[in-house]
Structures are given as C-alpha cells and as structure tokens.
Amino acid sequence: MPRWNLTIEERLLSKVEKQSNGCWQWIGANNGKGYGLTTVKSSLKYAHRVSYEVFVGPIPNGYEIDHTCNNKGCINPAHLKPVLHSENIRRAVGDTPDADGNITCSKCGFVFPAFIRGVPLHCPLCLQNRSRKAYSQNRGTILSKQRARDKAVRQSMHSKK
C-alpha cells in the first residue's frame, strides 16, 4: 500500500522494530542523536512525540516527553511520559538526589548539590572537563583568530602614525 494511503498510526508502526524489552525501536530517519523523525502534514516531527499524541493524547503545555526506558529511539507510548523540563533534565543526568539534596555523579563520583535556586545542576567537574576538551580541540582556531586580531590592531596603530 502506498505510504500516502496509510494512517499516522500505520506509518509509525511500519518504522518500528519491537524489542524483547518492550521498546518500539524507531528504524526510520533520526536526528543524528538517536531521536526518530517523521513527517506529519509536511512538517518534520519527533517520532516519540507523534507516537504519544497519536496513541495517548495531547502533550500538556509546558511539558516534554521523557523516555522512561532511557532509549531515545523508543516510541512505545507505554515508555513515554510527559514531564516538566526540570524533571527531564534531572532524569537525563541519571543521578537522583540523596536525603541531603546532594547528587553523586555516576561518571566521576563528585558530590554536588542537586539544585541551586530551583535549577537542576549537572556535575561541575564533568562540565569543566567537557569545556577543557572543547577548548583544546578548538585551540588552534582560537589562537589564529587572536593572532589575526592582534595583527590588525598593530597595523591600525602603525597606520595612524
């Protein structure tokens, strides 16, 4: 049957591989980060959001869809849950606060407060390491731009004399 004759439900299910853990793994197009993509009325949408809206109902305003199975490619509506952004970020970090409100990073073991002024935090050591890595990868570009800027300043100072 041609694709344009299928309902949205049929189109979604035609791009799914059901797994033994209950996940409906999206095997269609994805965004390069693991989230499935599909078109609805000529508009590109995340497959997990479309799945939730089709099989469960509308996503409440201000809410995001969280994968309770932690599989970005899963579109099983039983594995999808609407949550606030702060909850989605907290779950994405993968660590939960202890009784004192502190989190122990699962990657490096550093203990840090879960929230400051209501904002969920990521591990400061892991963030610092990512920043250092990104800087070292881009260091040549940064230095060449600084040298070019310095040269332009020197030339403009010489031309004023």
Count of domains observed in the chain: 2
Asked if residue 86 and residue 107 are part of one domain, the reply reads no
pLDDT tens digits, 75-123 = 999 999 999 888 887 776 555 666 677 777 767 777 877 766 555 567 7
Which of these three, 93, 120, 139, is where a domain ends?
93
Asked if residue 88 and residue 74 are part of one domain, the reply reads yes
- What's the CA gap between 39 and 59, in Å, rounded? 18
* pLDDT at position 157 over 90: no
Which residue range is the domain that position 126 belongs to?
A: 95-161
Please tell me whether the overall predicted TM-score, pTM, comes out greater than 0.75 for this model.
no
pLDDT tens digits, 45-71 = 999 999 999 999 999 999 999 998 888
Asked if residue 161 and residue 148 are part of one domain, the reply reads yes
Average pLDDT, the chain: 82
